[in-house]
Amino acid sequence: MQDLELVKHGLKLHLRDPCSYTPILESEVSRGCPQSLLMGPQAGLTVQEIGKFSKKDAEAFPLYEQQLERFAQAIQPLLDNTPIDSKKLAKSSLWEQIKEAYHSKHIFEAGKILGEDLPLFYEYLTAPASKILNQWFDSEPLKATLATDSVIGAMISPDTPGSSYVLLHHVMGELEKQKGIWAYPEGGMGAVSSAIASSARAAGVEIFTNKAVSQFIVDASNGVRGVALNDGTEVRATAVLSNATAKVTFLDLCPAEALPSKFRSAIGRIDYTSPVTKINVATRGLPNFVADPSVGDDPMPHHRATIHLNCEHMSLIQEAYEDASRGEISRRPLIEMTIPSSMDRTIAPEGCHVLLFFTQFTPYTLAGGKTWDEKTKQAYAEQIFGDVEKYAPGFRELIVGYEVLPPPELEKIFGLTEYLPRRHVAGSAVFHKAGAWRIWKPVTCEGTLPVWEWCTPRWRSDGSARLPRCTSCAAGWQLGAPSIAKFRKERTRGNDGMGLSHIPIPICVCPCFFPIYFTWCPL
């Protein structure tokens, strides 16, 4: 945000406090148990809320957060730098190895931060989230609420090895130099895209939309020299930055003969499994939760937060995952509901609201030959609304309209990497690839650069690039004068033979500019 001066270019944020709200069904807990858990950036309030469930957990939570933040501080520079190519390093001269060590100072910095906690850090990268959370806490609603961060958007459960890494991933970001802060952009996520576009134009960037790229232009030495569009137009450039998935970039857009078969095969094995169905709902009022009844028509603090439903126990998330693993829609899906209109009044008429449901686990391919037709989508929406009704009676009566976006439609509308029939894998991963550290692997083969270096100076193994960063899809892109200058400097240090005077002309290919939020309009 600071580099691109997004606020200057029209971005307005509504910071959320609290950030998380978990109402609890009376039928799921013993009599006398607290009925909700509210958490946010105010440490005192969060500890007080947790203390309603467990004094021990309340004392442990600040220590847990401190540990996560320290580990995130250690891993962040590792994500922002090129991993070492061990095969190439083994064949290098001593001088080249010394140079590589110099350019890998971030690894030593990470080690310095971790110190004697390095073995524990490794456990966070590889262990199931349930194991880590059980070590820290006793309260099931707290563990289930925290566990949602370990599985959100991914076809994994809290019991999946490596899912604890995603707990770290969700504390790495910051907003307006504050950690642990979430916000609604005024006007929806499309406003973020508009601000980025405005910043880019101010830096001299030309943006073209509805211009589908059919293929990269590759020269005789297999160097990328531009892009060819579907209409036959060719755009020449000295560098191409692709923010599409690795599959789209290397298998769909790159000529097959330009890459070794082993490399293409490795790219083809990247997992894009995602179990997400989004439901966007327009209502004529706010849900009134039994756990925290509304006072009047104005939003309550918990309406501003991410509302977690079906999170009374971690086992519910595991059961939902197991249902989807059999090709069945989860009987009690994990539901995250947000109400951006509780703070941003520009996206809905007075008295009306926009509710966004991020739900899982829903298979791309349903068992028994079923498909995601209109009947199935409507039945699933009714199932979700029925679950909400248990927490907030009368919710159905508030609904004016809704749309359901199951995995196949997320794939089709937003250009996410698709279902791969030969592997029976559900695609449409909303984070450019499936989560969990266990599947983040370097992809390289003899005679080629690692996947993250092939056509950009810093290509990460999650399929996203270091420089391009698109806020709509979490992989992200950063494009502006500071980033281009940085890109220039790093290209000069590379092995492309470019001199200091060389100025690259980047072309950015990004399929992810889509509004996650939508604007309510009268029907």
pLDDT tens digits, 5-41: 999 999 999 999 999 999 999 887 666 677 899 999 8
Give residue 503's Cα distance to chain centre: 32
Task: Please give the Cα distance from 246 to 457 (Å, whole number).
Answer: 15
Position with higher pLDDT, 511 vs 128 = 128
Residue 507 pLDDT: 47
Which is higher by pLDDT, 518 or 120?
120
Q: What is the pLDDT of residue 418?
A: 58
Q: What is the pLDDT of residue 159?
A: 94
Nearest Cα to 431, choosing from 475, 477, 478?
475
pLDDT at 73 over 50: yes
Stretch among 166-180, 417-431, 483-497 having the lowest mean pLDDT: 483-497
d(CA 233, CA 235): 7
Chain-centre distance for alpha carbon 380: 24
- 506 versus 407: the higher-pLDDT residue is 407
- Number of residues that this document lists for the chain: 523
The pair of three-digit structure tokens given for residue 195, joined into one six-digit string: 């601000």
pLDDT in tens, 57-70: 999 999 999 988 88
| Long-range Cβ pairs for the range 490-498 (8 Å, 24+) | 490/457, 490/458, 491/239, 491/457, 494/457
Residue 482, judged by CB atoms within 10 A of its CB (0-12, 13-18, 19+), counts as middle
- In SS3 terms, 188-234 reads as CHHHHHHHHHHHHHHCCCCCCCCCCEEEEEECCCCCEEEEEECCCCE
Mean pLDDT of 108-130: 85
Which tens digits make up the pLDDT trace of 269-289? Answer: 888 888 999 999 999 999 999
| Region of residue 474 (left: phi > 0; alpha: psi -120 to 50; beta: else) | left
Contact of 354 with 339, CB cutoff 8 Å = yes
3-state secondary structure of 37: strand
pLDDT in tens, 130-154: 999 999 999 999 999 999 999 988 8
User: How far is 431 from 169, CA to CA, in rounded Å?
Assistant: 12
pTM for the model stands at 0.79
Most confident of 47-56, 161-170, 215-224, 235-244: 47-56
Which one has a higher pLDDT value, 179 or 369? 369
- SS3 of 394-410: the string is CHHHHEEEEEEECHHHH
Does residue 186 surpass a pLDDT of 70?
A: yes
Collapsing DSSP to helix, strand or coil, 446 comes out as coil
The Cα–Cα gap between 421 and 423 comes to 5
**Tokens 């952009």 belong to residue:** 185
Q: Which of 71-75, 103-107, 164-168, 507-511 has the lowest mean pLDDT?
A: 507-511
- Would you state the structure tokens that stand for residue 499, as one six-digit string? 């001199």
Give the distance, in angstroms, between the CA of residue 82 and the centroid of all CA atoms in the same chain: 21
Say if residue 504's pLDDT is above 90.
no
Report the pLDDT value the prediction gives residue 455, as an integer from 0 to 100: 30
Q: How far is CA 213 from CA 7, 202, 472, in A?
A: 31, 24, 20
Instruction: Supply 492's token pair.
Output: 């000069």
| Higher-pLDDT residue of 341, 463 | 341
The pLDDT of residue 30: 64
